[in-house]
Amino acid sequence: MFDVGAATRDEIPAVAAVLGEAFADDPVVVGMIGTADGRCDRATALYSALLRAEDPDGIEVDVARDRSGRILGAAVWERPEARGASLRALLRETPGFLQALGPLRLPLALRGWKALSRHRPDEPHWYLGEIGVRAAHRGTGVGSRLLAHRLRHVDDHGHGAYLESSTPRNRALYVRHGFEARGEIRGVHAARPTAMWRPPAEAAGPAAAR
């Protein structure tokens, strides 16, 4: 059994660890951090730096906790009005990015982030930057509950939602929750993620309610 709710500030390091485990083999992340051993640690360092750089007022971090309080999964959403991490905040986290990426792979990561950013819709939307579940709890409904938890709020406010998906299995989950594929994103090293859009509930018809 598990419950879904907002992460506390003290839980952000645990959120980064969950995302690091979940994305250690993800094509987009592997394209950034490389294929050498220690990918989980480097992916955790990457998400730690990214989360520290974010404006806390611009994101919502949802977590699934078991009855002991252990975090099983996490989702990081950017609000429609958010401006993203500031350049100053990103520069402040340079040591963390270098730990995750190394100096040689940092330019690859920057090009990938720019490619992803170019495909963001112009209209206001909630952006699902990351959603991940611990390996031992995949297939138990954690990811689906995390998605449904935030999408209820998105629908209540009449917003669209956007994400990028890098695997067919993940895309199937998002389709079940009303997302539609919007084509392949090029320019990301060693990966071909798919842009996915979920229209505002009042404009989407039956697909948004699934």
CATH number at residue 140: 3.40.630.30
CA nearest 7: which of 53, 38, 51, 41?
Answer: 51
Q: What are phi and psi of 124, to 5 degrees?
A: -55, 140
Output the tens digit of pLDDT for each of the chain's 210 residues: 999 999 999 999 999 999 999 999 999 999 999 999 999 999 999 999 999 999 999 999 999 999 999 999 999 999 999 988 988 999 999 999 999 999 999 999 999 999 999 999 999 999 999 999 999 999 999 999 999 999 999 999 999 999 999 999 999 999 999 999 999 999 999 999 999 999 998 754 444 433
- Overall number of domains in the chain: 1
Measured CA to CA in angstroms, residue 35 lies from 26, 38, 75, 169 at distances of 11, 9, 24, 21
Q: Give the pLDDT confidence score for residue 203 in this predicted structure.
A: 55
Q: Give the pLDDT confidence score for residue 170 in this predicted structure.
A: 95
Cα-trace Rg, the chain: 16
Cβ-based neighbours of 5, under 8 Å, separated by 6 or more:
62, 63, 65
Beta strands in 40-179 (DSSP E): 59-66, 71-78, 125-133, 160-165
Q: Which domain holds residue 13?
A: 2-209
